[in-house]
Structure 1
Amino acid sequence: MNVDLSGEVLTGQDIGFTVVLRTSGGYTITIESRLTVESPTGTVQASPGPDTEADLSVHLGPLAHHRITAADVDTAGGLDIKFDGGTRLHVDPDEKYEAWTINGPDGHLIVSGPGGGLTEWPSDRQR
């Protein structure tokens, strides 16, 4: 599934027990599970939390004001986002928990459910 995030600019982020990324067009990407960030400064694999906040900040912090060049969601529940400058963020589905969600500005919601798979709610315009 191709998620229409291309061209969105990362405008905000919170890193703690979850990773929350906000975009210029009003999308919110929330990651609650193990993620991989491959950046020019290296690669980190970590689950969000206080013990990994510093490592994740080193790799995600520099993405402020960077543009998303591609975003894909696979039917198993994986998420892959590429940014200009060469950084890639990937989240696999989680066996027990929701791995990530994408909330659109129009109410469109995609959730990677426990054990994999996707649940999707249409936008307010499609209801």
Structure 2
Amino acid sequence: MSTEEGPVEHVDRWNLSLQGMPVTRISTEIRLVLSLHSDWEIAVEAPVRLSHGPVHVGPSVLLNPETESIAPALELLGARVLSAVAFKSGTLRLVFDTGHHLTCSPDPSFEAWQVMGPAGWRIVSLPGGGLAVWTDSGASAS
């Protein structure tokens, strides 16, 4: 697992350093929550696209946590994260070892998703785009 250093900032994105972590629990409460090993959690409150196969080519389904139409997300239970990227535009993209891709775009009116982890890490998609990032040393906006 590669989260000892935490997420890594680049010019246009944050690499979340979740590689190799399995999805250990999936829950819904008006939002879709993926719990990962090592106390990381991904909470999605906006519609999210789940696809399988090559990005932008494979079949996809739109999951809407608000209406609890998230049954296809259950296929992610036990899947390991290959890549987790929070783009500074506000989009989140996760790639799993099962060939699944989860992509959540920012919402114009509310926080579409957030990633929370140990040591005070929290990355949130802001309404209309952009990110807010908290670490144990405070908050910043991207």
- TM-score, normalisation: structure 1: 0.87
Partner of 2:121: 108
Stretches of structure 2 lacking an aligned partner (at least 5 in a row): 1-13
Higher relative contact order (CA 8 A, sep 6+): 1
User: For residues 48 and 120 of structure 1, what CA distance do their matches in structure 2 show?
Assistant: 23
User: For residues 82 and 66 of structure 2, what CA distance do their matches in structure 1 show?
Assistant: 27
Partner of 1:75: 88
Identity %: 31
User: For residues 83 and 48 of structure 1, what CA distance do their matches in structure 2 show?
Assistant: 20
User: For residues 118 and 22 of structure 2, what CA distance do their matches in structure 1 show?
Assistant: 14
Superposed CA deviations along residues 1-51 of structure 1, whole A, max 9, x for unmatched, are 21111111100011341000100111010000110001369421132123x
Q: Is 1:43 matched with 2:60?
A: yes
Name the structure with the higher strand share. Answer: 2
Q: 1:99 aligns with which of 82, 100, 112?
A: 112
RMSD: 1.7
* SS of equivalent to 1:102: strand
Give every structure 1 segment of 4 or more consecutive aligned residues whose post-TM-superposition deviation is greater than 4 Å: none
- TM-score, normalisation: structure 2: 0.79
AA paired with 1:70? S
Superposed CA deviations along residues 44-93 of structure 1, whole A, max 9, x for unmatched, are 1132123x42xx21x21121111000011111100000000100000000
User: How many residues in Structure 1 have an aligned counterpart in Structure 2?
Assistant: 121
1:1-127 aligned within 5 A: 1-39=14-52, 42-50=59-67, 52-53=68-69, 56-57=70-71, 59-122=72-135, 124=136, 126=137
* SS of equivalent to 2:127: coil
Q: Say if 2:80 and 2:96, in contact at 8 Å, map to a contact too.
A: yes
* SS of equivalent to 1:25: helix
Stretches of structure 1 lacking an aligned partner (at least 5 in a row): none
* SS of equivalent to 2:111: coil
AA paired with 2:133? E
